[in-house]
Structure formats: structure tokens, C-alpha cells
Amino acid sequence: MNKRKSLPASLQKYLVLLQDHPRWFRNTGEEGEIRIITDPERILTEQDRLRARLQAEGKPPSWIEIGVLAEDEWFYVLRDLVEFPDGKVGGYIRWINRKSQEAGGWNVILMCLREDRVLLIRKFRHERRGWSWEFPRGFGEAGLTPEETALLELREEIGVHEAELTRLASIQEDKGGTVAFLAKIAAAQEIVLDSHEGIQTFEWVSKETLETMIKTGQFSDPFSLWAYLAAKISSLC
């Protein structure tokens, strides 16, 4: 009898990902790392032990379910069984961007510049349940270069059809990744916001105003801050 059939569905999906994408589960072997445990028998044994502890503490045993907890076309949500540097074993949740890591798409962050002013959009972020001042950004689709994705996001989010793009920084994420761009926009380009994207308004601000917003916590989106830092380091703003 195939042991895989007796495993929970979430763990079965997890083992398929382990086989198809071994890089997502790699251990470096270096001292101090948080090591992923991938042996199915050990996972089941440790789960039973940890579930018993959770039940004794009056906590839901589902808190230690190992495997693929959720998935859609954009993300996998995984809980790995890991061994911490001190030898303790437990669950550790992470999410994987399927568009970049599995399909090879490129996510983009766009610091838009018009003469000496920077474009900020006020966007509703579902994960925070609140509004955020930030740069335009978006997920990449498979088959598009970072530049093609950047131009597509400019059209979709702010209605801009032409821009001079300069790469500021990039992170490789398996087959795809994330790229921060400086996008110079001509004064004649009109900004037209996409209401579907949850963008309420926009402002062109001076660099001094932007830095004041950073210092006071009004501008705190980490992706946008990364793009701005890359532009500052490159002396492009």
C-alpha cells in the first residue's frame, strides 16, 4: 500500500511541492539555520507529540498541521516542521508567491518621478485593513519581462502609457523575482486612477516632503521604502 495515500491531504500536497520545487525546502547546513524537516514519518511523529501538548494546554491541535494550508493562483501558504538552532521542533508558517517563484513572473515597484517630484498613491491594503501611501506596485505575470510588467502596471494603476524606466534594484526569486524601477513620467502624461485597485487619490510631493513622511511614519510601505533607498544610493533622486 502506498504510504502517501494515508497521509493528510495538506501533507500530500506539501510532498508534491517538495518533489517539484526542492529549492523551496533547501537547508544550507550552516550553523544557526532553521532547518526544515522533510521526512514524512518524522513529521507525523512530531505532529502527534505537538498536538498532544497543544490539547493539554487547551489549544487547537490544528495549530500544528504541517503542509499546504491554503493555495490559490497567487500564493501557497505552508506550515513547515522545523528544527530551531537550539534543537526545539515546531511549526513555522510562510507564504510563497506562485507568480514569481513558480511561474517566472516579475513583481515591480515603481518610483515615479516628474521633474523633481515623486508620485504617491493612497491605496487601500486589504491585509492591513487600512490606507497606505506608497509607490505603484504589482505582481508579475509569466512570460513578461520586468520592463513589460512595469509598463503594464503603470497603465493599469495610474493610466500612464509612456515612461523612461531605470532599474534600481532586484531580487531573484526562483524563476522570477522583484524589481524596483525609477519611472520618469513626462508632464503631459495625465494620471488616471483605477478604482478597482482600491486607489483613492494621488499626490506629487517634493523629496523633502517624502522624507518628512518617512520620518513621521506616514510613508511606511516596505516595498516603496526599498525602492526609495535604492534610488538614493544610486544618486537618482
User: Are 205 and 116 within one domain?
Assistant: yes
Q: What is the C-alpha separation between 203 and 116, in angstroms, rounded?
A: 13
Instruction: Provide the grid cell at 27.
Output: 537547508
Query: Tell me, what's the pLDDT at 4?
Result: 44
Instruction: Tell me: do 69 and 23 sit in the same domain.
Output: yes
Would you state the pLDDT for residue 175?
86
Mean pLDDT in residue range 173-185: 94
Among the residue ranges 3-12, 49-58, 124-133, the one predicted with the least confidence is 3-12
pLDDT at residue 236, rounded to an integer: 82
Q: Per-residue pLDDT averaged across 108-122, rounded?
A: 97
**CA dist., res. 210 & res. 228, Å (int):** 10
Residue 86 is part of which domain span?
Answer: 3-101
Q: Are residues 96 and 174 in the same domain?
A: no
Q: Are residues 219 and 126 in the same domain?
A: yes
Mean pLDDT of 7-14: 94
Consecutive H or E run containing 72: none
Regarding whether 49 and 10 lie in a shared domain, the answer is yes
d(CA 15, CA 81): 12
The CATH number given to whatever domain includes residue 127 is 3.90.79.10
Q: 74 and 147 share a domain?
A: no
Boundary of a domain, candidates 83, 101, 119: 101
How confident is the model over 167-192, as a mean pLDDT?
A: 94
- Residue 93 shares a structural domain with residue 185: no
The verdict on 114 and 80 lying in the same domain is no
Tell me the residue ranges of DSSP E strands in 115-236: 117-125, 130-134, 137-138, 164-173, 176-184, 199-206
Amino acid 211: pLDDT: 96
Residue 75 pLDDT > 60:
yes
Domain boundary among 65, 85, 101: 101
Q: Diameter of the chain by CA atoms?
A: 69
188 and 167 share one domain: yes
User: How far apart are the C-alpha atoms of 192 and 177, rounded to whole Å?
Assistant: 27
Nearest to 140 by CA among 111, 100, 180, 167: 100
Same domain, 229 and 113: yes
Query: Which pLDDT tens digit goes with each residue over 182-236?
Result: 999 999 899 999 878 889 999 999 999 999 999 999 999 999 999 999 999 998 8
**pLDDT confidence bin for 173, thresholds 50/70/90:** confident
Per DSSP, what are the bridge partners of residue 171?
A: 178
Per-residue model confidence (pLDDT) at position 2: 46
pLDDT at residue 31, as a whole number: 94
pTM for this structure?
A: 0.84
How much is the pLDDT for 6? 79
pLDDT at 1 over 80: no
What is the 8-class DSSP label of residue 142?
Answer: T
Conformation bin of residue 34: beta by default, left when phi > 0, alpha when psi is -120 to 50: beta
Other CB atoms within 10 A of residue 203 CB: 14
Q: In the chain, how many domains are there?
A: 2
- Percent helix, percent strand, percent coil in the chain, to nearest 5: 35, 35, 30
Same domain membership, residue 208 and residue 185: yes
Same domain? 32 vs 135: no
Residue 19 is predicted with a pLDDT of 96
Beta strands in the chain (DSSP E): 35-37, 67-71, 75-83, 89-97, 106-114, 117-125, 130-134, 137-138, 164-173, 176-184, 199-206
